[in-house]
């Protein structure tokens, strides 16, 4: 699951609370469920207008089809022509990338 910190419609804290509720009921939650928080990202419905992208779909396919759970996902800021201006790792909640 992912949620953008800049989502104007649904607070990111709701997704965090949901993840923590699942975790409180099942200590092995990381075996089947991870939450990735995306700085500067809005909701999935507005992703077409959002100049960021990530490997979320690829990570899901690798986890489901190959059994390789994601330890991080690479997010990219791209221009309209697809040029990448910067990247950053996204860690599963509650981890955070530090520079």
pTM over 0.85: no
Say yes or no to pLDDT of 51 above 60: no
The 10s digit of each residue's pLDDT in 9-32 is 889 999 999 999 999 999 999 999
Q: What is the pLDDT of residue 20?
A: 97
d(Cα 59, Cα 79) in Å, to the nearest integer?
Answer: 23
Say yes or no to pLDDT of 50 above 60: no
Domain assignments of the chain as residue spans, ordered by start: 2-90
Do 75 and 87 meet the contact criterion of CB atoms below 8 Å apart? yes
Q: Is the peptide bond before 94 cis (omega within 30 degrees of 0)?
A: yes
Question: For a pLDDT cut of 90, what percent of the chain falls above it?
Answer: 45
Average pLDDT of the chain to the nearest whole number? 85
């Amino acid at each position: 699951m992912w949620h953008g910190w800049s989502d104007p419609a649904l607070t990111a804290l709701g997704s965090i609370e949901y993840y923590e509720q699942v975790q409180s009921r099942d200590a092995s939650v990381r075996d089947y469920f991870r939450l990735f928080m995306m700085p500067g990202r809005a909701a999935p419905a507005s992703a077409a207008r959002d100049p960021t992208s990530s490997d979320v779909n690829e990570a899901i396919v690798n986890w489901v089809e190959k059994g390789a759970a994601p330890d991080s996902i690479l997010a990219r800021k791209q221009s309209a022509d697809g040029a990448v201006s910067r990247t950053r790792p996204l860690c599963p909640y509650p981890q955070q990338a530090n520079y």
